[in-house]
Structure 1
Amino acid sequence: MPTSIIGLFETQDIARKVVSALGKAGFDDDKIETMTKAGIDETTDRLVEAGYDKDKARRYGEAIQKGGVLVVADVDDDKADEALSTMRQFDVLTPEALLESAGEETSAQVIEETLDVGKRKVSAGKRLTTEVSEREVEKTVTLQDESVEVERTKADKTLKPQEAAKAFKETTVEVSGYTEKPVVSKEAHVVEEVSLSKNSGERDVTVSGTVRRQDVSVEDVDRKTKSSDKS
């Protein structure tokens, strides 16, 4: 004759581990049931059918509504103790223990930083500095030159005595030419003027920063109270 072994666990994760352990122990998976979202009446009827007291069965139904998970394993009579021992490897709760823990209330703070942006004046501007540099420039100029050329022409002419007397005398004849040479002069020209002036205006700046937030996470805590029922 089959016997229904039940165990109440706080989370679905623990219940899955219990079902897995029962399967590894050789119990038929088709005869292992997990009840999580069943109503109170449905749970009560299921456990009463398995042979449990109606009031106790209803307490299990109420515990499921508070988040508990009920594992029901139908096993042969000679395997009941082994199934019970397998379940007790995990934190098995009584309905009262789970309901009491569900009724406890505590609080934690969610804290979040905000980013406030202000403004302050900072001295900033521009400075004019003059700097003298040199560069090589070239310019082409056309120069004119005059040259004096000497030309000798052969002659055969007989001078009369009076012409000869006039011809023999020391004389100097000069013919001058000219040549142009480049003359370099420099003139300074203002080619650009740079001036500084102040203008007032507004601008929008997007400021980013890192802010902290303290969140509150909720996790299931395994209870140390171990209890189970065997019909």
Structure 2
Amino acid sequence: MKQTVIGIFNDASDAKDAVQQLLDNGFLRANVDISFQKSDQDQGSIRNFFGSLFETDEANSYAEIAGRSGAIVTVHAESEEEAWRAGEILDQAGAVDMGERSGQTAYAASETPGYAASETLAAEPAREEATIPIIEEQLNVGKKEVETGRTRLRSRIIERPVAESLRLREEHVHVERNAVNRPATEADLSSFKEGEIELTEHAEVPVVAKEARVVEEVRVGKDVDEREETVTDTVRKTEVDVEETASDNLRK
């Protein structure tokens, strides 16, 4: 069962020596913490820390003693045997005697009398947790419309010469004089008076007229075709490999 062992030191240098002794005796640095008292804000953190480990009366008493100390060393032990060894190391390094300071016995004294005589506190097991988010990418395929081409129809007016053959008729007036010698008749005498004769000439001329006729139609439209296309890509996903390694203490 995991346990937390706490050593309170009046001198910060003693606390640093205790940490080094723990490391020399096989404790992992990740399982050993050291904190120094610097401000009133630290006092509040200390009270909250002990409050999470002990009952209210014990927590207040230990927090008050720790608040007047120079440093606190915390060891996260993997077993009761490891917690016992940590307590002995902290005791030898100069941790304060909590029984003398507070008039109370250390935590878990009834179960491990020798351990209680040391200058450390063994608290309930502390639970440490870490979370690794599992992230997986998903492929979302959609479609959008893009322009792929354009067709434009433009109309314009052009001129070209044309020629047509046409036969035209013309009238011409001509006058002939013939010499005669005969007696005048009554008809001749009846026309023997002043008068005039007028003949009009006519001629055909070309007449041009234009008629617009639709000879062709040009239509433009669109045909819609559909096709299938397979989209390929890669997506990423978080994979967690769990590797358990027995500590050197358990192998012994």
Q: Is TM-score (shorter-chain normalized) higher than 0.5?
A: no
Q: Which has the higher contact order (CA 8 A, sep 6+)?
A: 1
TM-score range for the pair, normalised by the shorter chain length: 0.3 to 0.5
- Tell me the TM-score normalised to structure 2 length: 0.37
For the pair shown, which has the larger CA radius of gyration, 1 or 2?
2
With structure 1 as the length reference, what TM-score do the two structures score?
0.40
